[in-house]
Amino acid sequence: MMPRPVVIEDLCKGCGLCIGICPVNAMHKAGKYDKPLLTITGQKFNNQGYPVVEVVEPADRCTGCLLCEHICPDLAIYVKK
């Protein structure tokens, strides 16, 4: 089985540290930003109101390096192997 990052949405605060550290760009912010209107459209929020990060499909980009898991301050990501 290939490694796959799993985001625990209720713990994710959308800080984006995992996005920045991932060497293969396996994650991104969920939803689409509409900059001219300064609004967020299609954004996915968790139960606490934070925008969440999601895994880019297909998830086979993940190499299992665990950088995302180690950098997350909220323990909201783990890599399933």
Count of structural domains within the chain: 1
Write out pLDDT tens, residues 49-80. 888 888 887 778 899 999 999 999 999 999 99
Residue-wise pLDDT for 2-12, tens only, equals: 899 999 989 99
Residues 6 or more apart from 49 whose CB is under 8 A from it?
none
Domain housing 45: 4-80
Distance set, CA 45 to CA 3, 14, 30 (Å) = 25, 9, 8
Length of the chain: 81
Q: What distance in Å separates the CA atoms of residue 36 and residue 70, rounded to the nearest whole number?
A: 35
Write down the residue that tokens 């993940």 correspond to.
62
Type and span of the H or E element at 34? strand 32-34
CATH number, domain of 49, equals 3.30.70.20
